[in-house]
Amino acid sequence: MTPQHISLAILVNVIWGASFIAAKIGIGQLPPLFFTGLRFFLTALILVFALRPLRGQMRHMFGIAMTMGVAHFAFLYLGIKLAGGVSAVAVTVQLIAPFSLLLAVVVLKEQTSPGRLIGVAVAFGGVIVLGFDPVVLDQINGVLLVVISAFSAAIGLVLMRLLRPVGVYAMQGWTGAMSAPPLLLLSFLIEDGQIDALMNIDLHGLGALAFIVLGTTVVAHGGWYYLLRLYPVSTLTPYGLLAPVFGVCFAVLIFDETLSIRFLVGAMMTVTGVAITHFAKKPATPT
């Protein structure tokens, strides 16, 4: 990779790590489901130029939006709200990778290798170790919601495998357009105070929302898609593992979250397990 592309890969993961901080700030001022729906509404508005019908693929696109959009981010933001902290969330959401591998084996009948299954076990073991950390134990309900969030995203990733190639902004735009209505409807059914909260949001809240919409959608997702067109996934994966590291570092620096030895061991196990699932030898293709 060129120095410029390495810098872009690192920047993308800095943004993804910082998005956990922005989410906590945002849902501190707006109800979580309302914040999530607003995020997707604004995303669809910005990417309206990419909203062209995907012939023969709209049903799969709807499934992706309901899993990777509605379920994933609703449970993620509710998890952050309930947990109160960011560090455990940033690590736990990495279960998307092992969940995806298991679902691909079960649903798509893909073959896997013992090494990759070991990676799955190590990643889940790391989250279990995290769960016994006294600080995380106080946040366990939020962490469990993040586990559901990761599983939802994994379902979405499996559905994406059934989709013919779609541009990153078309994917983000349709996800936003399809996710915003049910999220906003759900918010007004079970949450309250949305309008008052929106009218009283301060610059920190607005900045957090803008950062997530523009930073993660336009810069981070767009930048990563650009790199994926130039390099294989195996080349980019080590950089992708930096996102939880940046997320935890930002949580410590900005929110003064404390990290115990048990937390660090669990986090290392989870990230290592995710790395193993990516780098373990693939099974030989039958001839």
Q: Which amino acid is at 139?
A: Q
Predicted local distance difference test score (pLDDT) of residue 149: 92
For the chain, the 3-state helix, strand and coil shares in percent, each to the nearest 5, are 80, 0, 20
Q: Does residue 157 carry a pLDDT above 60?
A: yes
Predicted local distance difference test score (pLDDT) of residue 83: 82
Predicted local distance difference test score (pLDDT) of residue 285: 52
Give the model's confidence band at 282: pLDDT under 50 very low, under 70 low, under 90 confident, else very high: low
Alpha-carbon distance values, 2 to 68, 145, 226, 227 (Å): 31, 39, 14, 11
Give the model's confidence band at 115: pLDDT under 50 very low, under 70 low, under 90 confident, else very high: confident
Q: Does residue 259 carry a pLDDT above 50?
A: yes
Within 10 A of 167 (CB to CB), how many other CB atoms are there? 13
Class of residue 109 by CB neighbours under 10 A (exposed 0-12, middle 13-18, buried 19+)? exposed
Q: Does residue 180 carry a pLDDT above 70?
A: yes
Q: Does residue 287 carry a pLDDT above 50?
A: no
- For residues 90 and 267, what is the distance between their CA atoms, to the nearest angstrom? 9
Q: Which amino acid is at 286?
A: P
Name 83's Cβ contacts closer than 8 Å, sequence gap at least 6: 89, 139, 141, 142, 143, 145, 146
Q: What tokens were used for 234?
A: 């195996």
Give the model's confidence band at 110: pLDDT under 50 very low, under 70 low, under 90 confident, else very high: confident
pLDDT for 61-75, tens place per residue? 999 899 988 999 899
- For residues 175 and 162, what is the distance between their CA atoms, to the nearest angstrom? 16
- For residues 261 and 267, what is the distance between their CA atoms, to the nearest angstrom? 10
Q: Does residue 154 carry a pLDDT above 60?
A: yes
Range with the poorest average pLDDT among 124-133, 247-256, 276-285 = 276-285
Range 116-126 average pLDDT: 81
Predicted local distance difference test score (pLDDT) of residue 128: 78
Alpha-carbon distance values, 144 to 140, 150, 253 (Å): 6, 10, 25
Range with the poorest average pLDDT among 75-79, 163-167, 194-198, 203-207 = 163-167
Per-domain boundaries in the chain: 3-279
Q: Does residue 170 carry a pLDDT above 60?
A: yes
The more confidently predicted of residues 284 and 222 is 222
Within 10 A of 255 (CB to CB), how many other CB atoms are there? 14
Give the model's confidence band at 38: pLDDT under 50 very low, under 70 low, under 90 confident, else very high: very high
